[in-house]
Structure 1
């Protein structure tokens, strides 16, 4: 049988015309994904604020005022983000400083040894 004549029910294998290759990720592609995701989050926040427009009384550290509920909750979320970002930034700076000292050949200060509890002294002549 030649390749032109195949038995009924069998098909000739077809080579894929497409070459399989992968595209490496780039910074621009990453920024684009972040921009789209950020836009979606901002759109959802805008919808949230617009749907929660009823006025609420807010009191904080002796200050008080009236704000729309959505705005008050958004400000509380921003305050929470700041409360997490401050110690996180401090830790990043601490690690960066330690890495720079390591690269420069200076070893960062070793961590302080934990205090050992005093061990009781055992005397050989002590009554038991």
Structure 2
């Protein structure tokens, strides 16, 4: 019978190797390995960049769709720009999706708690 241990963050799986001293011309990434660790800050920065690009696309979309359309919803009637009507519909569907997702997450958490007991 053999026991297999899982590596932890404090105990490296490989024995430590000597890191050669850095020369000024040598970049840090090539001396320590070609992978740069991923961090939460890096992920947040990427998310902000993607959001900024999406906002630019949204602004261009709204500027190109300024013609007014007639909208009827649950007995209400009105005129508003096409881009605004589509934006309201998209935000409404996103909120509906989040409510349904939150209900499903709550349902799964309750089920998980019941199975643990």
Q: Which has the larger radius of gyration?
A: 1
Q: Which residue of structure 2 lines up, in the alignment, with residue 96 of structure 1?
A: 109
Aligned length: 88
Q: TM-score, with normalisation over the residues of structure 1?
A: 0.61
C-alpha displacement at 1:99, in angstroms? 3.4
Paired residue for 2:67, among 50, 54, 64?
54
2: CA distance, partners of 1:85 / 1:60: 22
Indicate the SS of the match to 1:64: strand
Indicate the SS of the match to 1:23: coil
Aligned ranges 1:9-28 → 2 under 5 Å: 18-19=30-31, 20-28=33-41
Q: Quick check: which one's helix share is greater? A: 2
Aligned ranges 1:1-128 → 2 under 5 Å: 18-19=30-31, 20-102=33-115, 105-106=116-117
Q: Are residues 97 and 24 of structure 1, via their aligned partners in 2, closer, same or farther at CA, if it must alter by over 3 Å?
A: farther
- Measured on the aligned residues, the alpha-carbon RMSD in Å equals 1.7
2: CA distance, partners of 1:58 / 1:41: 26
2: CA distance, partners of 1:79 / 1:21: 44
List runs of 5+ in structure 2 lacking aligned partners: 1-25
Q: TM-score, with normalisation over the residues of structure 2?
A: 0.67
